Amino acid sequence: MEDIKKQIDIRERLILALDVDDVVLAYNLIEKLAPYIKFYKLGLQLITKDGPRMVMTLRRKGLKIFYDAKFFDIPQTVYNASYEAARLGVNMINVHALGGEKMIGYAREAIEKAAEKMQIERPLLLAVTILTSMDNKDLKENLKCNYDVKKMVLTLTKKAKDAGADGIICSPNELKLLRKEFGDDIIIVTPGIRIKKIKKDDQKRVLTPKEAIKDGADYIVVGRPVLQAEDRLEVIENIFNEIKAGEQCRKKK
């Protein structure tokens, strides 16, 4: 895992979430921001609207892709879906950790076979722990779970890692706990990154880019703070500066 981490360029630590409902806007964003941002997240809406073609566009430009489909189904169905996603040549694929170890193991097997067949680099397999829109109250009321978020994230991470996941997706609030437990032995991708308060924000567990990197995130996923900015390039450069500052703080620990 350390070899993977050494290959992470600082300008790839920022993953831009293309969470827009207009395909034309998405392509325009890619065209304008490609010189500055090298990693892009395709979520369920864009995947459904124009997924494969958008992946090809990103690949032609030499950009990296996080295929954020959050697969969660019976193991064989997840195997099939993961196989097809990996064949597209994406760099990250995710599944829900709640799907269980067998499902995660099937996803790992699928992407390995697809990468071997296509003779491409295997995408990282990530497991979604608890969505950043959920908190302790949600776990108790909706999942009837007696664990708090941190304990649940820790439990799911252990199971995902044992099943073959390269890493996990968690909120910034669980970073310190996971780094203490696993050290550098997992990749951690962290959404819930905010520069300032955003109206109608559905994220409940958030931190700044500097805080997230300092606490152990390998990659941060940012959407609205960039997409809603009046000067996107200024915001992007500020985020990169925060990432650098966070890395420096992390090295001093």
Q: Which of 32, 64, 70, 253 is catalytic?
A: 70
Give me the DSSP letters along 195-207.
SS--TT----S-B
* 141 backbone dihedrals φ, ψ, rounded to 5°: -80, -40
- Catalytic residue at 161? no
What span, in angstroms and rounded, lies between the C-alpha atoms of 107 and 71? 9
Give yes or no for a contact between 210 and 245, defined as CB atoms under 8 angstroms apart.
Answer: yes
Give me the DSSP letters along 167-230.
EEE--GGGHHHHHHHHTTSSEEEE--B-SS--TT----S-B-HHHHHHHT-SEEEE-HHHHT-S
Question: DSSP 3-state assignment of 66?
Answer: strand
149's tokens: 């978020």
User: What secondary structure letter does DSSP report for 147?
Assistant: S
Neighbours of 21 (CB within 10 A): 9
Give yes or no for a contact between 121 and 90, defined as CB atoms under 8 angstroms apart.
Answer: no
Catalytic positions: 70
